[in-house]
Amino acid sequence: MEAKAAKAVPSARQSTTFAEKRVDGRTVRVTLGIHGQITAARARDLAQEKLGVGVGYIRSNAKASPIFRCDERRMILVGQYDSPYVRRVAITLHHHGLAFTRNPISVFADARAMAGINPLVRIPSLVLDDGEVLIDSGAIIDYLDELVGPERALTPRAGTPRRRVLQLVAVATGTIDKAGAVVYERHFHAPGKVNEDWLARCRGQMIGGLRFLEAHLRRDWLAEERFTQADLTSAALLGYLRLRMPEVRLEQEFPRLAELSAKCEAMPSFSAARPSPEEVMPS
């Protein structure tokens, strides 16, 4: 389907902000909100969610001129920020200064829509501006590093530094998997139906991962003298534990990791990717 930017046409309703684009010779128009009550940034995000990437104009009759032109292509991150995997992708995007919009559909409540994006019905996915869909946070992050080049990449390109970062990331993501297994076991089983042996095994594996990371945090950052994907993913894990498993007493049991978490959460890239109350899975 070819989409082309079109000349803006006045809306029939006064003071309405809308976006439009040309698709196969027709004009597709969507109303985004009452002009003045919707910011240009929000309008652009909505326009991209509703019309897809790329082209479109937004304008209000009250102003009678385009207030926003959205001919900049943006990637779409699919998933909610209570997922540490979605969050690590979002933080990497922000860290690299890459523009994106988000489709915050729920992996459980919107399973049918999700299946159309990712055959595994999992998050995150990243929809590129040409429609290609990347799945799995590791593959997505690898692509983002490639976009910004080796100097700015958060995973070193080769050698011992690369192996060190990849190993720490593997431990951090493995720990997320085990914490996630505990959260799912508790969420999806009625009291009395929870398998305590399985829970104990997962908790033990999770604690093993946390101990490993704590032991490797000897300087400011985990792997290198600078912030890397090992720090970012570990901090996403720690944020998830604070959200879903407050019984893990980070400050008391893992003080270096608690410090890393506080330091990272103070970074703008982390605060830009905090889950809103609507996107937190119920306990």
Ligand X SMILES: N[C@@H](CCC(=O)N[C@@H](CS)C(=O)NCC(=O)O)C(=O)O
Interacting residues toward ligand X by CB under 6 A: 83, 85, 107, 121-124, 136-138, 180
Q: If we measure between CA atoms, which residue out of 51, 95, 48 comes closest to residue 73?
A: 48
Q: Rank residues 85 and 227 by Cβ distance to ligand X and give the closer one.
A: 85
* Per-residue b or e along 6-30, where b marks 16 or more CB atoms closer than 10 Å to that residue's CB: bebeebeeeebbbbbbbbeeeebbe
Q: How far is the CB of 174 from ligand X (least distance, A)?
A: 10
Is the alpha carbon torsion for 190, 191, 196, 200 positive or negative? Answer: positive
Side-chain half-sphere of 21: how many Cα atoms within 13 Å?
A: 21
Q: How far is the CB of 241 from ligand X (least distance, A)?
A: 13
Q: How far is the CB of 85 from ligand X (least distance, A)?
A: 4
Q: How far is the CB of 176 from ligand X (least distance, A)?
A: 7
Q: Rank residues 53 and 176 by Cβ distance to ligand X and give the closer one.
A: 176
How far, rounded to the nearest angstrom, does the alpha carbon of residue 26 sit from its chain's CA centroid? 34
Q: How far is the CB of 272 from ligand X (least distance, A)?
A: 19
Q: Rank residues 8 and 273 by Cβ distance to ligand X and give the closer one.
A: 273
Q: Rank residues 90 and 107 by Cβ distance to ligand X and give the closer one.
A: 107
CA–CA separation, 161 and 174 (whole Å): 20
* Per-residue b or e along 71-86, where b marks 16 or more CB atoms closer than 10 Å to that residue's CB: eeebbbbbbbbbbbbb
- Residue number of the CB closest to ligand X reads 122
DSSP assignment string, 197-214: HHHHHHHHHHHHHHHHHH
Q: Rank residues 8 and 168 by Cβ distance to ligand X and give the closer one.
A: 168
CA–CA separation, 83 and 75 (whole Å): 19
Q: Rank residues 106 and 269 by Cβ distance to ligand X and give the closer one.
A: 106
Q: How far is the CB of 233 from ligand X (least distance, A)?
A: 10
Q: Are 234 and 214 a contacting pair, CB within 8 Å?
A: no
Q: If we measure between CA atoms, which residue out of 79, 80, 88, 78 comes closest to residue 237?
A: 88
